[in-house]
Amino acid sequence: MLNDIIGCLKKPPLYTKTKGEFWNDEYISKQMLKAHLNPEFNGASRKLKFIDKSVDWIKEIVPSTDYPLLFDIGCGPGIYAERFCKQGYQVTGMDFSKRSINYARNSALKKRLDIAYLYQNYLDMKLYKVFDFATMIYCDYGALSTIDRKNLMCKIYQHLKPSAKFLLDVFSVETYNSFQEMQTWEICNDGGFWREDGYIALYGHYKYSNSVTLEQTTIISNTNTATYYLWNTCFTKETLIEEAKEAGFKVCEVFGDIAGEPYHRGSPTIAILLEK
């Protein structure tokens, strides 16, 4: 038993992937959606006050009059997509969570918003459509492995019109430097985020030499043991620009966040506006 617990906390190889689609787990997906929709929680989605500020800024630098067809990649339950639609964009949202996409579709229907939502893995996307503007918001890009990021950049490039724009954000090396390695545990007798019934959670936070962090969670319950991996590749301005240029993009401007704060070396995030 002791060896099993030690094994659960062992630092895994870089970019080890979680087994199964936990974001489509019946119980976990409910918890994830609840986190997305909490206006004061800065986890799954940013706080609504920041989101509103972000959309106001985005519509100024990439106006819907000039870039009407917007592709929101990793759209979740449509929090940004609905706001983009209200600003005059013709929005297509894509996400790999069935629950989030179903919520987004129902919400758009209730509010009479003409938004197209697609349940797809964006790493495998092949749409017979090109867009004027694409967004990938809240550092989803850095959660991918190096190979998957390269693949995604190329796919996004292929789905954009000439001179189209692409806006994304990532965590910076400042976030990597402040990340604390640790191993902790928690007993959840009445259930919690990961399970409805009682469980023990083992947490391992690890840093890797190439500016990558891992938040590893192992859940031990009466029925099973499962480990979940949350990776974050952190970037410098230079490494982010290098990856974008490798895919063929031109750099328009670099910002400190997705709401237009000026970039500086101490920024915890980096936002970059690219052009095909």
Residue 30 in any domain: the answer is no
Its sign, for the CA torsion 171, 175, 176, 182, is negative
20 and 84 share a domain? Answer: no
pLDDT tens-digit map of 159-175: 999 999 999 999 999 99
- Give me 146's structure tokens: 């190096």
Residue 32 in any domain: the answer is no
Phi, psi of 21 (to 5 degrees): -95, 80
Q: How far is Cα 32 from Cα 77, in angstroms, rounded to an integer?
A: 10
67 and 20 share a domain? Answer: no
pLDDT of residue 220: 94
48 and 73 share a domain? Answer: yes
Residue 33 in any domain: the answer is no
Residue 31 in any domain: the answer is no
pLDDT of residue 139: 94
212 and 87 share a domain? Answer: no
The pLDDT mean for the chain works out to: 94
Q: How far is CA 86 from CA 38, 63, 138, 273, in A?
A: 21, 12, 20, 22
Tell me whether strands 269-275 and 225-233 are parallel, antiparallel or unpaired.
Answer: unpaired
105 and 190 share a domain? Answer: no
Give the structural domain span for 19: 2-25+175-232
pLDDT tens-digit map of 113-139: 999 999 999 999 989 999 999 999 999
**Residue 68 burial (C-beta neighbours within 10 Å; 0-12, 13-18, 19+):** middle
What CATH number did the domain enclosing 71 receive? 3.40.50.150
79 and 106 share a domain? Answer: yes
Specify the number of domains making up the chain.
2
140 and 223 share a domain? Answer: no
DSSP 265: T
pLDDT of residue 4: 66
50 and 143 share a domain? Answer: yes
116 and 242 share a domain? Answer: yes
pLDDT of 242 above 80: yes
Lowest mean pLDDT among 32-46, 60-74, 152-166, 226-240: 32-46
Quick one: pLDDT band at residue 144, thresholds 50, 70, 90? very high
Quick one: pLDDT band at residue 65, thresholds 50, 70, 90? very high
pLDDT of residue 43: 65
Residue 180 in any domain: the answer is yes
44 and 108 share a domain? Answer: yes
Residue 217 in any domain: the answer is yes
pLDDT of residue 92: 98
DSSP 261: P
Residue 202 in any domain: the answer is yes
Q: What is the average pLDDT across 67-95?
A: 97
